[in-house]
Amino acid sequence: MPKTYAEINEKIRAGEAVVVTAEEMIDVVAEDGVEKAAEHVDVVTTGTFGPMCSSGAMLNTGHTTPRMRYQNVWLNEVPAYSGIAAVDVFIGATAIPENDPANRDHPGLFNYGGAHVIEELIDGRDVRMVADSYGTDCYPRRKLDTLINIEDLNQAYLLNPRNAYQNYGVAINLNPDRDIYTYMGVLQADLGSATYCSAGQLSPLLNDPYYRTIGIGTRVFLGGGVGYVYFEGTQHNPTEARSGNGVPMGGAGTLGLVGDMKQMSTRYVAGVSMYGYGVSLSLGVGVPIPILDVDMARYTAVRDDEIVAPILDYSRNYPYNEGGALGHVSYAQLKSGSIEVEGKSVPTAPLSSYVRAVEIATTLKEWILAGEFLLGEPTQLIPSADSGQGFKRIKERPVNNGGGAR
Amino acid sequence: MATRRIVMHFPQTMIDEPIISRLVRVYDLEFNILRASITPKQEGLMILVLEGDESKLAAALDEVQQKGVRIEPLEKEVTRNDDRCTECGACITICPTHALAMEPDTRHVVFDPDKCIACELCVPVCPPRAMETPF
């Protein structure tokens, strides 16, 4: 007997909804079977916590006197984007100060960047903002140097183009001599280590592999506050190859997420430094999945041993788009501490915190049980496997200078 | 027999004194130097494991301290800031002594200072910069 969002929300309001985490759902289905679980369970909560580079914050500072239209903006010396109007500023998580040595002394440390500015704002700390402009009749002011605080901003929200990747590659280094420094962490030479970055069985999109319940308007846990799916994420690729259970065998779906930073906590939003690579934002995301029917009960019971990820060489095949995966391993194997690659036992390390993912799924469950968090019914689901939408590379073309292109 | 894992801080005035060879010749101690450096302020720093007779070891460390060398137990040198650690696990394959490890059942990332040799490889590798050193 299928359920509707309205029926589930009615039960949440009445304090009668049955809510379990995706980890607990595995046991529920193992004991009761999918049919009974589908009837009994209303919502399964998921969680993930890891670096999500394609994130940023939209800020409106309020107008200055005299008025100013920001042309260039720096927040704690990190350049922000202000090619909008007039006192809107977007700070990207991976931006670094213009005077940062970056990788000139390789591997660079990348101790500070946009993600750290975002963390400090959420922490309630003052941030120094410097802005300049060319001045107009309506916006005459040309310079500004001030402290800002999240409390005083009109709006401060995370506006993240790509979060919560559905599955991801396992990174290894085939170079026989040299350690490499990547967004997947330090990878030791000659298959010395392997890193992965997914909560596996607890991860949001792995529990709804065809996005049957996730779309524009889905209400989520974002950074410790309430957020929303505003669109499919960039690089959303629903046509990635899938295993028999429907779960993609590599990076596939992604979410565009938005949420009020004033509700967030630095426990779930942290600036991080990837040695020799750059700055990123470690972010906590949790998505509630309504158990509308038997299929959703089956999908949310997925286990680590049923989800596989591709092994990718980051010394050559990833950066140069050469060759494919060196095979696939399950999250159960990855979490055992070592995997076998080309006949060699390779120790594994995650970049995504499973304990914090459990904490997020549990917190979201408590919010729903307390009647504080209702499901947001998507007004439009994000494209699924039947959309035919793939993942293109840029087609570089010669520039014809006579053809009107600048 | 006793084993001590210590950090010695030598003031600038003592950098050219043969402290370690006295430990061997006079006190009959075995030593294994894990790290040694001279800081920009010209202070000498040495991290080492000393092994020998309990009373001789104590007497040796007394003499060295009286000469002006500051001694700290090794586990104090790298600490984990638990407020910053997100327990991701990026450190666990980097740590050569498994002082940083993941508990297989709970998925907690644990730090055992007794196993730490203060190599500091974890410090730049830790994404939220939770591993801290005082120097």
The closest CB to that of A349, out of B84, B93, B124, belongs to B93
Output the pTM of the full model: 0.89
CB A56 within 8 A of CB A159: yes
Query: Which residue ranges make up each domain of chain B?
Result: 2-73, 78-135
- Residue A271: list chain B partners with CB under 8 A: 128
Sequence-distant contacts of A130-135: CB under 8 A, at least 24 apart: A130/A73, A130/A74, A130/A77, A131/A68, A131/A70, A131/A71, A131/A72, A131/A73, A131/A74, A131/A82, A132/A70, A132/A71, A132/A72, A133/A68, A133/A69, A133/A70, A133/A71, A133/A72, A134/A71
Q: Does A282 touch chain B (CB under 8 A)?
A: yes
ipTM for this prediction: 0.93
Q: How far apart are CA B120 and CA B122, in angstroms?
A: 5
**Domain range B2-73, CATH architecture:** 2-Layer Sandwich (3.30)
Stretch B57-82: mean pLDDT: 87
Domain boundaries, chain A: 5-52+159-386, 56-158
Average pLDDT, chain A: 97
pLDDT score of B114: 80
pLDDT score of A17 more than 80: yes
Q: How far apart are CA A229 and CA A380, in angstroms?
A: 10
Which residue of chain A comes nearest to B83, CA vs CA?
A: A267
What is the pLDDT at residue A402?
63
Please give the pLDDT value at position A404: 63
Phi and psi torsions of A114, nearest 5°:
-55, -40
Question: In which region does residue B94 sit, left (phi positive, over 0), alpha (psi from -120 to 50) or beta (all else)?
Answer: alpha
CB distance B90–A185 less than 8 Å?
A: yes
Q: Is the pLDDT of residue A36 over 70?
A: yes
Beta pairing, strands B30-38 & B70-73: unpaired
| pLDDT above 90 (res A51) | yes
A365 close contact with B: CB closer than 8 A? no
How many C-beta atoms surround the C-beta of residue A303 within 10 A? Answer: 18
Fold match, B2-73 / B78-135: yes
Selecting among A1, A14, A85, A138, the annotated active-site residue is: A138
Rounded to whole angstroms, the Cα distance separating B129 from A34 reads: 44
Residue A107 amino acid letter? P
Check A275 against B125: CB less than 8 A apart.
yes
| Contacts B81 to A, Cβ<8 Å | none
Q: Which of A233, A241, A240, A245 is nearest to A165 (CA)?
A: A233
Fold of B78-135: Alpha-Beta Plaits (3.30.70)
CB contact under 8 Å between B92 and A50, yes or no, is: no
Question: For the segment B85-132, what is each residue's pLDDT rounded down to a tens digit?
Answer: 999 999 999 998 899 999 989 999 999 988 888 889 999 999 999 999
In 10 A of CB B115, how many CB atoms? 14
Q: Is A138 among the catalytic positions?
A: yes
Report CA-CA distances (Å) from A24 to A37, A113, A301, A330, A358: 11, 38, 8, 20, 10
Amino acid A405: pLDDT: 59
Instruction: For residue A216, give the 3-state DSSP assignment.
Output: strand
All residues at 6 or more sequence positions from A142 whose CB lies less than 8 Å from its CB, including other chains: A68, A132, A133, A134, A135
- The per-residue pLDDT for B110 is 97
What integer best gives the mean pLDDT of chain B? 88
